[in-house]
Structure 1
Amino acid sequence: MKTRNIRFFFLLSTILLGFLSSCKKDNEEIPALAKPQIGTLEIGSGNNKTVKAGSDLHLEGDIVAEALIAKIEIEVHQEGGGQYKFTKAYTDGKYIGVKNATFHEHIDVPADAPAGAYHFHFTVTDKAGNATTAESPLTIQGSDAKVAYKLVFTEVAGEAHGDHFHDLAEKEKVEPIAISFDEKGTALAGGHAHLNPAGIYKIELKQFDASSKEIQGQYISNKATADYYKAFLTGGSFVLNPNSSTGNGAIFQTKETTYGDGSAVNGATETTGIITYFTAGKDNEGEKNVFFVLRKFNDASTKSKVTRTDWNLSDYATKFAGQDLIKLSFELHAEEGED
């Protein structure tokens, strides 16, 4: 009996020592060392600390974090009592979980940012909870071009199924990604859309008149009007989800539910694309040059012939006679760890 108790005590002691040793190793992986160090940070072209609204802000600098980088946060806010600000955060991707990193990014400055004096904050937090912030004055100059169109990407919850989505629902605390365009469809801000390839995004098309009033509702004011219009996402040679062997292909589902007059939109072929849901899918990781197109057909009967798998056709213009009323050009980066 005593021998058995001794053996049990020895086994229990071994397990306890192993557990304590494991805990010690886990703690050693995140050492309580010095705070992150941020080297000389270039802000703006030639470090001029100036940028135009509707363009991108060049940032470059070296980071050393003994306890490994956990997140990088950027905030730009108005000086002199102004309330305008914009932010950007990196919580995964190539900068996270490493000790040494050269941060080099171009941060999109919203085209509607008021011109004037701003304050720039660049904060690095390590896995031990230590944080270091580099600060600088920043001048934002007025935009040269007026915003004529905008695409707003907002990540949502849902499930991809064939050529469409199920159970779409809003997510909490999601920061939309906005891309602004001039009247020719050239990107002014947010021209590099960084999306999680596995994410599902609600895309809203916005169009503005000379007074900056939204006027995109004109295309779906009623069924008779909407029958002439359909959205496409061309370029990029996407692997479509119905053709994917892994079920990780792209889906672009136009999905309004009502017309401007309050009547219901019935069926997939009636939807237009002022509101669309999109996923690139892991089969399409990487960078793609794409165009968001709103096409006006010559004949109202054409729309009923456009299926859910026609949105990326290279010959859509030949197949569906009409004209590209709106054609917005931008880069789509579908990469793991993107916001």
Structure 2
Amino acid sequence: MKTRNINLFLLFTALVFGFLSSCKKDDADIPISTKPEIGTLEIGSDNNQTVKAGSDLHLEGDIVAEALIDKIVIEIHQEGGGNFKLAKVYTDEKYVGKKNATFHEHMDIPSEAPAGQYHFHFTVTDKAGNSTTVESPLTIQAADAKVAFKLVFTEVDAHAHGDHFHDIADKSGVEPISVSFDNSGKALGDGHAHIKPAGVYKIDFKQFDAAGQEIQGQYIKDKATASLYKAFLTGGAFVLNSNSTTSSGAVFQTKETTYGDGSTVTGAVETTGITSYFTAGKDNAGEKDVAFVLRKFKDAATKATITRADWNRADYVAKYPGEDIIQLSFEMHAEEGED
């Protein structure tokens, strides 16, 4: 029995010393003077050294580390006197302890990163403490402005009569015209609505929440809610159709037919302008700076006093107490030959 225990002890001791000896041998095999090698490193889509704030930076390249990878560090700092910096350390098991690895990651660039020129550092450190760094210029572009509002112009068949339209019908083969706006109401892109002077357009007002869901229905969810809101089209010094000597003036007719709860909108004064119809008219051909305004009144009685001829009043603020909760400013180009 004692002999058996002694034999087991000797076997265990031999295994321990063998393991330690192996570790020492492995450590001794690490070429401590050989630095990691970084192959061609792709920085950005198609290696364009460019990324947009609010998106991610594509990075890909091959690494060879004879002493095995310990960590990979990325540092990005602003050039030209700026102090914005980014840093990230990668210690994933797919890299650490590996001699050969393909680094492929997408590094998030926050939307608040200032647009401009940056310096990029990619450093690989091995288990022997050796490091190799690849540097590159990097351009961070401004983040895309989020679309908070949109006006969609869709040409329809209709006839202007005084201050309103008759015989409104959809028109086939029509491509809608959209103007998008940021949260402040500033137009994005070229900020222009190119329309035909004599064309009649359905205008759909859209508002989006942070998730991109449409929320403009909140203003007409029922009659009681809608009684506090009305849309105006301000600026432009339009010749109104009702004042035109040629019957070629402008008409802006707010025209929802139902509230969000399914009940019917009755009468001209009940409409709000989440859906409306518009023509500039030939009397107003050319370029105009205008604004689509959604005004909230101090009391429900105010809306009932607004007629179809009041949509372009210069004194609407004083005339109808309340506040403009939305104001979308853009250029309207009512020109012949527009599609």
For the aligned pair, the TM-score class normalised by the smaller chain equals 0.5 to 0.7
CA distance in 2, matches of 1:185, 1:174: 27
CA distance in 1, matches of 2:239, 2:315: 16
TM-score (norm 1): 0.58
1:52-75: CA deviation from partner (whole Å, max 9, x where unpaired): 9xxxxxxxxxxxxxxxxxxxxxxx
User: How big is the shift at 1:144?
Assistant: 2.3
Q: Which has the larger radius of gyration?
A: 2
Say yes or no: does 1:180 pair with 2:180. yes
Q: 1:190 and 1:266, CA in 2 relative to 1: closer, same or farther beyond 3 A?
A: farther
User: How big is the shift at 1:189?
Assistant: 2.9
CA distance in 2, matches of 1:142, 1:186: 16
CA distance in 1, matches of 2:252, 2:181: 21
Quote the residue 1:298 is aligned against. 298
Query: Which runs of structure 2 are paired with 1:1-339 in the superposition (5 Å)?
Result: 144-339=144-339
TM-score (norm 2): 0.58
User: How big is the shift at 1:230?
Assistant: 0.1
CA distance in 2, matches of 1:307, 1:262: 24
1:20-44: CA deviation from partner (whole Å, max 9, x where unpaired): xxxxxxxxxxxxxxxxxxxxxxxxx
Secondary structure of 1:328's counterpart equals: strand
Secondary structure of 1:189's counterpart equals: coil
User: How big is the shift at 1:326?
Assistant: 0.4
CA distance in 2, matches of 1:251, 1:143: 38
Taking only aligned residues, the RMSD between alpha carbons, in angstroms, comes to 1.4
Is there any run of 5+ residues in structure 1 with no aligned partner, and where?
A: 1-49, 53-140
**Paired AA for residue 295 in structure 2:** R
User: How big is the shift at 1:192?
Assistant: 1.0
Figure out how many residues of one structure are paired with residues of the other and give that number.
201
Secondary structure of 1:299's counterpart equals: coil
Secondary structure of 2:303's counterpart equals: helix
CA distance in 2, matches of 1:143, 1:149: 17
Structure 1 segments (4+ residues) deviating >3 Å: none
CA distance in 2, matches of 1:164, 1:325: 26
CA distance in 1, matches of 2:172, 2:144: 35
Q: Is the CA contact (8 Å cut-off) linking 1:178 and 1:190 kept in structure 2?
A: no
CA distance in 1, matches of 2:142, 2:260: 35
**Paired AA for residue 331 in structure 1:** E
User: How big is the shift at 1:311?
Assistant: 0.3
CA distance in 2, matches of 1:329, 1:317: 16
Q: 1:146 and 1:154, CA in 2 relative to 1: closer, same or farther beyond 3 A?
A: same
**Paired AA for residue 184 in structure 2:** K
Secondary structure of 2:317's counterpart equals: helix
Quote the residue 2:92 is aligned against. none
User: How big is the shift at 1:263?
Assistant: 0.3
1:194-243: CA deviation from partner (whole Å, max 9, x where unpaired): 10000000000000000000000000000000000000000000000000
User: How big is the shift at 1:142?
Assistant: 7.9
Q: Is the CA contact (8 Å cut-off) linking 1:290 and 1:332 kept in structure 2?
A: yes
User: How big is the shift at 1:143?
Assistant: 5.2
Q: Is the CA contact (8 Å cut-off) linking 1:177 and 1:190 kept in structure 2?
A: no
CA distance in 2, matches of 1:299, 1:215: 23
User: How big is the shift at 1:317?
Assistant: 0.4
Secondary structure of 1:224's counterpart equals: helix
CA distance in 2, matches of 1:142, 1:275: 33
Q: After the TM superposition, which of the residue ranges 155-164 and 189-198 deviates more from structure 2?
A: 189-198
**Paired AA for residue 263 in structure 1:** S
